[in-house]
Amino acid sequence: MSALITSLIERRGQIKAGLDELLAAPTAEARDLNPAEAETFNATVAEIRALDDRITELTDQAERDRKATETARKFALAGEHRSPADLNVVEPQVYRSGAGGASYFKDLYQATRKGEHAAAERLRRNDKMVAEARAISTVNGGGGEFVPPMWLEESFVKFVRPGRVTANLCVQGEIPAGTDSLNIPKIASGTAVAPQGAQNSGIQQTDITTTSISASVNTVAGGQTISMQLVQQSPLNVDDIILEDLAADYAMKLDAGQVLGGTGTGGTAMGLLNLAGTISVTWTQATPALGGPGGLYSKVANAIQLINTSRFQTPTAIVMHPRRWWWAVAQSDSQGRPLVVPNAGHPMNNLASMDSIDAEGPVGTMLGLPVYVDPNLPTNLGAGTNQDPIMIGRFRDYYLWEGDIRAEAFEQTYAQNLSLFVRLYSYVAFQGARYLSSTAIITGTGAVTPAF
């Protein structure tokens, strides 16, 4: 819970920095906010208040848990004869990464294939702890299927390489049971109004028409064959290596192969980069530049105004490849002054500001929008197969659903080699076409491999 609170506080700081930047120009110009700025301001303030409420809620709960644990231990040490159910003692995680933790794979094999009671009991305690922590049902069925430990669940979000930056910006949801497709209602054409010609005369009446768009439920899975000696005799938990590596690849494939580059075929969703009908902005420069006429800055501004004038809402983020962001950071004006400078220095007359040097995730702002770098963006587009796209989007319009992560272990067909096959899989669905005008993609000769 401490890690969650810390991440929320960090997120709040990032949003607050964006709010301060939004207010900088109106404050300097001694004017009120324009309509677009006011909308962004109201949405940002609402998001900060929601984060404040959540941080307060989690902080209060953490304090209550701490006091309950101290009270339980005090009564236990005092020797009072109470049943275990009367004491609210926080039990350490059954499975945890690193030395000293029980092997999840070993227990999975021993319980489901060998019927070992102690291993099955540890799995049941783990399932109960995960269910209480996530407050959802963890019953997935039979056949040796159990809920992976909490440290693995955290790895799917936190300890991934190269991460799921764009996927995490989307609206998150859970895959409902018993379906292979999610349908979203959509208004095809709306109602209409018109001036009434005269009193008591007929008024405009135009019927609304509706349609729907669907998101197929796809499976993302991976497995590994392990020697039984490694599972049963190794002093180290093989879980640390295999599960985290599968988690890393899951994150990368979800981000790159579903949300960004999915083609809608071969078990993938239709990714944002392949959607037909999105806004296309061409950046054509023989010598790419950040500022000046035809530079990237003007192209990003054009993309923003195109979303504003067709979606009638404000985009929420800019996503680019790390090489493109650091190329922008390296640019300078005719006097050798950098055009992107650290935000901590309270810069003036800069085209963008830099908040961090992270390899992925939020790194700064441009034109009032947060900039995220995502290494999963392709760098082989265009005629020369050397272009990387820059994406401006209203990520509140993109929906991503994920199911429970599931794990299984199998000895069959591997017994002659004294091996065990373990696999992890999850169901995912993505829909980025609710509003095609929510997405603008910048490509062109200006986006070729940057020179530093």
CA distance 446 to 376: 20
CATH top-level class for 100-186+209-452? Answer: alpha beta
The pLDDT value recorded for residue 234 is 63
Helices (H), 200-295: 228-233, 238-252
122 close to 141: Cβ distance less than 8 angstroms? no
253, amino acid identity: K
Site of tokens 């599968």: 246
Give the pLDDT confidence score for residue 113 in this predicted structure: 61
3 state DSSP class of 448: coil
Amino acid at 68: A
- Quote the Cα angle for 131-132-138, to 5°: 10
What does the longest C-alpha to C-alpha distance in the chain come to?
A: 90
Bridge partners of 200, per DSSP, are none
pLDDT at 219: 94
Rounded alpha-carbon distances, angstroms, from residue 364 to 25, 163, 322, 344, 353: 17, 18, 12, 11, 5
pLDDT of residue 72: 59
Q: Provide the terminal-to-terminal Cα distance of the chain, rounded to the nearest Å.
A: 42
Residue 117 DSSP SS3: helix
CA-angle at 307, arms to 370 and 383, nearest 5°: 85
Distance of CA 179 to the CA centre of its chain: 23
User: What per-residue confidence (pLDDT) applies to 135?
Assistant: 40
Amino acid of residue 117? H
pLDDT of residue 56: 84
Residue 248 structure tokens = 């890393």
Tell the residue number behind the tokens 């609710």, with chain if given.
Answer: 434
pLDDT at 140: 38
Q: Which residues of the chain have a pLDDT value below 50?
A: 78-90, 134-147, 153, 155-160
Neighbour count for residue 59 (Cβ, 10 Å) = 15
Q: How far is Cα 37 from Cα 44, in angstroms, rounded to an integer? A: 10
Q: Where are the domains of the chain?
A: 1-32+39-89, 100-186+209-452
What token pair was written down for 124? 């049941």
| pLDDT reported for residue 18 | 86
Nearest to 145 by CA among 123, 128, 125, 129: 123
pLDDT score recorded for residue 163: 83
Angle, CA of 249, 251 and 257, to the nearest 5°: 85
Of 113, 138, 172, nearest to 409 by C-alpha is 113
* pLDDT, position 69: 67
Both tokens of 437, joined, read 């005008």
211: β partners: 186
